[in-house]
Every structure is written in structure tokens, then in C-alpha cells.
Amino acid sequence: MAEGARQLARGQRPSLPALMLSPGNAVRLTDELARMRGAVMKLGQLMSMETGDLLPPEMAAAMSRLRAEAHPMPPRQLKATLAANWGRDWLRDFERFDVTPIAAASIGQVHRARTRDGRDLAIKIQYPGVRRSIDSDVDNVAALIRWSGVLPRGADPTPLLEEAKRQLHEEADYRREGACLARFGALLADAPGLQVPALHADLTTGDVLAMDHVAGGPVEGLITAPQAVRDSVATRLVGLALREMFEFGLMQTDPNFANYRHDAATDTVVLLDFGATREIPAAMAEGYRALLRAGMAGDARAVERAATDLGLIGPALPAAHLQELLTLAELAFAPLRQPGAVDVAGLGITERLRDAGMALAMEHGPGGHLPPAEVLFVQRKLGGLYLLAHRLRARVPGHALMTPWLAAGTSAAS
């Protein structure tokens, strides 16, 4: 408002979007979401990833802080939280406990510690009150989304919002996350180039998660790494997602880039944060297999059937709208049919999909269909990996990665 008044005084006509997306407002919005934490910060994380190439550079840079920079809890609150979980004499079990967190995310913050028996740990501690605020946070975000008019006309977001609440409550249960961490650790024990920190169950509670501290830097920092390193990291993560879908029946669905670290000394990708782990039913996996098989074959009608079966396409979609969606699908699948590596950023696929999708929405209107929540969570993960590969300007051998999974019922074991 102040900047708008200044522009009017200078005889200018202020633009609302330009005022809203100013660098100063970007910093203020980021600071406020980081202070609020919880569900609203998670929304900001998704905004920072999925609109990073659409926003002005200053705003994209400011919003990127939300991936791992919440406001940490004060030391007194930290000590009170640990005393409530470990007892008043908890410090006697530690040789060192760093009060300053090494990371502060939407639901909890992470501290480095060493126990007296020599364990080097990363300890995630949940912010007090986060679990109690989830329902109201989601309701407030839902009100904002409805007010903004971005929902498809006639769409009822209630089932999706209830599912979002359920998942956030699951993410706030650190015992559950610890169990998922241990499951993935066993599944990937022999996977080359991937590492899952070991769980320390004796120090894990519903509000505290203890695991090995594993060295590594932000995966986004690889943007300046050699091309071969960027290609290898992106390829490993896409390959892992395919194993999660078709072999494990278990997927970590949070695409936050901060959930991946890279240890340059060993060229290892470290996997973190398993709070959003979801079971993948066999029927859903086969539905995605059918979609993948149809897309790789270039069969538009089979793509339509598979996408409809999954719930990605509504049953009453106008013919013209359907045809343009199939055109977008072909745009996405065509590079995967070519042998060799796909230059995700160089082909401009992200921008072309974005522009075509926005034009489609403007021309036809969004319609009233929302896919099932379980499908949207999978799409969130897959889209996040695509955005990460684009951000790293990585080349990924899509054809070689996808082909082994096309046959019905295939898995690595078979």
C-alpha cells in the first residue's frame, strides 16, 4: 500500500501484481511463513519449488529459504521439549549437544549431538504446538485458496484437504517416521550411491527422531558441479522413484529439495525426511504402469484410458479440452521414447508444458475435476523430481530407466 501510494504521488499507475511480487514483499512473506512454520510453511515450500522459474529472481531466491530455514525455537523451549521427552536429566547421556540447530524446517528442527557411548547423531525435534495447529492451519490455507479463485469451478476440495490434514498428522508422528526410515534403510541397504541414515530407536519418541548424522551438502548446490555428477544424481533419484512405485510399493512423497543431500567425498545421495511416506497399492502401481506403457508407445487413446482410470482425467471432460490434455501428455512422453539421455532443461519441456497448460486453462476454464488425493501426492513427488532435474540442468536416460518397468507385474526381483 505504501509503495502504491508513492507511485500514485509520482503520477504512475501502480500494478497490483508488481506490488505484491516486489523483492521487499518476497522477504516479508518468506519471513512470516518461516515464523508460522507448520502447514503454511509447507505451502510456501511448494510455492518456492513449483513457481521458482515463474517468479521474479529476487522472490524465487527469498522463497527458496523456506525449504530449510524456519525460525528455530528458543533454547529454553528446546530444553523443556527434550526434558518432556527424555526426562529432566537427559543431558547426562550426551558428550555434546549443539543448541544451535543445523536445519529448521516446517515441522521440526535438527540438532547435531554426540552421545557418551560415541554415537554421532542428527536429532530432529518437533516444534511445540505444531500437531495441535495442523487442522486450523489447513483450514486457513483452504480459505485463502478459495478466496483466491484458483480452484477449478465446481470442484470440492474437502476430500483433498482432509487427506492433507491426515498426512500432516502422520508427518508429525516421529515414531511413524522412524519406522519408515528403518524400512527404507533396509530396502536400500545395498543400493549403490544412496544412503539412508540409521535410526536410533532408543532416543526416538513421538516428538523426537534420532538418526545417524551423515555428511553432505544441499543437492541444489550441485548446480555448479560437473555435468556428469548432476546427471548421475538426477538419474539415481528418478530410478529410486520407479523402484518405490513398482518394486517397494512404498514412496516418500515429499519433493522438498532439502530432503536430498550429496556427499561429494563419496558421491553419495543422502535421503532424509520420511514423514510423508505412503503405501502404493498394487492397483495404483499397475495404473501408472499402464500410463507409462501407453505414453512410451505413443498411444493417445491408451493414455486417455490409463489417465482416466487413475483419476487424472475427469469422466465428463469436453472433447476439445481432452485433446489438448493428450497433446500435453505427448509433449511430456515424446523425449522419453528416444534412446539416450534427455536434457530436461535444454529441451524447454518445462516451459512448454507450463505455457500450454496456462493457455489451456485460460481458453477452456479449469473444469470441476480434482484427481484423488493419493494420486495427487504421487504426482507431487514425480513433479518435484522433474523440477529438480530441470534445476540441475541434468541429462537423464529416461528411456533406459522406464523400459524395464513396462511389462505388467515386473519388479527388480523378477
**Whose CA is closest to 347, among 288, 398, 289?**
398
- What whole-number distance in Å separates Cα of residue 6 and Cα of residue 65? 29
* Residue of 207, 231, 254, 273 marked active site: 254
Instruction: Report the DSSP pairing between strands 108-115 and 103-104.
Output: antiparallel
Contact in structure between 142 and 370 (CB atoms under 8 Å): no
**Whose CA is closest to 370, among 161, 50, 155, 164?**
155
- What whole-number distance in Å separates Cα of residue 229 and Cα of residue 88? 46
3 state SS of 34: helix
Contact in structure between 135 and 167 (CB atoms under 8 Å): no
Contacts of 166 (CB under 8 A, 6+ apart): none
Contacts of 205 (CB under 8 A, 6+ apart): 85, 86, 174, 175
- What whole-number distance in Å separates Cα of residue 65 and Cα of residue 42? 12
**Whose CA is closest to 322, among 354, 376, 367, 352?**
367
DSSP calls for 188-245: TTT-TTEE-PPB-GGG--SSEEEEE----EEGGGGGGS-HHHHHHHHHHHHHHHHHII
**Whose CA is closest to 186, among 99, 98, 274, 311?**
274
- Is 254 one of the annotated active-site residues of the chain? yes
Contact in structure between 386 and 350 (CB atoms under 8 Å): yes
How far is C-alpha 138 from the chain's CA centre? 17
- What whole-number distance in Å separates Cα of residue 240 and Cα of residue 262? 15
Distances in whole angstroms, Cα of residue 108 to Cα of each of 39, 41, 166, 172: 12, 12, 18, 9
Helix residue ranges per DSSP H, 128-211: 130-148, 158-171, 174-187
Which positions are catalytic?
Answer: 254
